[in-house]
Homo-oligomer: A and B are copies of this chain.
Amino acid sequence: MNEVRPRTRIQRRNTGAILEAALAVFAAQGFRGATLDQIAEAAGLSKPNLLYYFPSKEAIHLDLLTGLLDLWLDPLRALDPEGEPVAEILAYVRRKLELSRDFPLESRLFANEVLQGAPRLAGVIAGELRDLVEAKAAVIRRWAEAGRIRPVHPQHLIFSIWALTQHYADFEVQVRLVLGAGEPDPFPAAEAHLEALFTRLLAP
């Protein structure tokens, strides 16, 4: 199921180029919309050569998704129960927005997958992700009960953070078109806006 173990320099370079090319194509077209021709072209390889490194289109896609998960969950993992509540949540928002800015393709790959029913990620979402959210929701609930933040539904607070930050990656085209040519980089204003939003929501 997995790619050729990259022992040599050439193998490392080629599997890397394939994954990078595939990320761009899958993010822009979805799994079924992407073709091996496009990926091979973008990676600078022939189609059969690409299939020398990965056994199938599905295998490339799965490799990308699984490789993505840690990047995606780390910011939430870093939420520190011992920290100052509002500052911790604002830092989480900031880290998540940075992911949208620096890894928009990864965000869109993930969005494509969930949007189409998460056929390959349902297990991880119902397992690993759910457990992590549960744990951090408990932290947020304790903060609220201690009066250190205003009362809030913990899970829906987390959904809000995901929705608001990922929107700037997943709907980037719409954001830019609606703002127009005047404001080329929407992220600074987005960061200020989200900081104000969550501060007013949470600060007791």
Are A177 and B28 also in contact (CB < 8 A) when A115-B115, A201-B201 are?
Answer: no
Please classify how large the interface on chain A is, using the bins under 10, 10 to 19, 20 to 34, 35 or more. Answer: 35 or more
Q: Report the nearest B residue to A191, measured CB to CB.
A: B156
A33-B189 Cα distance, complex, nearest whole Å: 36
- Report the copy number of this chain in the oligomer: 2
- Tell me whether A115 and B111 are in contact in the complex, defined as CB-CB below 8 angstroms, given that A153-B192, A179-B155 are known contacts: yes
Check if A122 sits within 8 Å of B177, measured CB to CB: yes
Residues A118 and B174 in contact, CB atoms below 8 Å apart: yes
CA A175 – CA B166 in complex, angstroms? 15
Q: Are B174 and A167 in contact (CB under 8 A)?
A: no
B-binding residues in A (CB < 8 A): 28-33, 108, 111-112, 114-118, 122, 125-126, 129-130, 133, 150, 152-153, 155-157, 159-160, 162-164, 166-168, 170-171, 173-175, 177-180, 186, 189-190, 192-193, 196-197, 200-201
> What are 5 of the A-B contact pairs (CB < 8 Å)?
A28-B116, A108-B115, A125-B177, A150-B200, A164-B164
Given A111-B170, A122-B177, A125-B178, 8 further pairs, Cβ under 8 A: A28-B117, A29-B116, A32-B33, A112-B115, A125-B173, A162-B167, A196-B201, A197-B197
